[in-house]
């Protein structure tokens, strides 16, 4: 009986940790969003980001209207909760340039929007063999190798 309880407890704890980590992933859901140095409009705008920028939620204000978020470079900012969503996954290019292709592999040609530059943002559509099919804010799609992206 004690073994069953231990296994059950461990399973519940692991499940909660998995849910907590996935809940921490956020994506910008508006065309342009201001990131701030603190929680509130009275704090300095430190960076403007665009739709589909992914973040990791690392905290929130006491009134729960502002989230502290970490970006792909490890920097922390504040963003209003209405400007982000956790309903889908997003990715950002984390290298200087990444070839955007018509299919999941190097044998596919590049698309006209290629290369994608560092900090270009996308919504994740699907994955296949280490590649992600992505959509940008203008609904253009393409494939990028997963290891060239920071995904949340």
pLDDT tens for 37-76 read 999 999 999 999 999 999 999 999 999 999 999 999 999 9
How confident is the model at residue 103, as a pLDDT? Answer: 96
Give pLDDT, residue 1.
Answer: 53
Reference 119, options 59, 52, 65, 57; nearest CA is 52
pLDDT at 17: 35
Q: Which of 2-6, 26-30, 38-42 has the lowest mean pLDDT?
A: 2-6
pLDDT for 113 equals 86
Convert the pLDDT of each residue in 116-139 to its tens digit: 999 999 999 999 999 999 999 999
C-alpha to C-alpha distance for 53 and 46, rounded to whole angstroms:
15
pTM attached to this predicted model: 0.80
Domains observed in the chain: 24-85 (2.30.30.40), 90-151 (2.30.30.40)
The residue among 10 and 89 whose pLDDT is bigger is: 89
- Give the tens place of pLDDT for each residue, 88-113: 999 999 999 999 999 999 999 999 88
* CA-to-CA dists, residue 19 to 24, 29, 37, 71, 86, angstroms: 9, 21, 28, 20, 12
């Amino acid at each position: 009986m004690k073994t069953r309880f231990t296994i059950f407890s461990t399973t519940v704890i692991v499940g909660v940790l998995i849910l907590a980590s996935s809940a921490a992933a956020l994506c910008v859901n508006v065309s342009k969003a201001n990131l701030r140095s603190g929680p509130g409009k009275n704090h300095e705008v430190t960076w403007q980001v665009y739709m589909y920028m992914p973040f990791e939620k690392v905290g929130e204000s006491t009134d729960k209207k502002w989230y502290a978020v970490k970006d792909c470079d490890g920097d922390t900012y504040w963003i209003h909760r209405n400007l982000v969503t956790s309903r889908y996954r997003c990715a950002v290019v984390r290298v200087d340039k990444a070839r955007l292709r018509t299919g999941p592999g190097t044998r596919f040609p590049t698309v006209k929007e290629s290369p994608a530059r560092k900090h270009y943002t996308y919504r994740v559509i699907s994955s296949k063999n280490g590649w992600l099919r992505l959509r940008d804010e203008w609904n253009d799609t393409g494939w990028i190798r997963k290891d060239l992206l920071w995904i949340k």
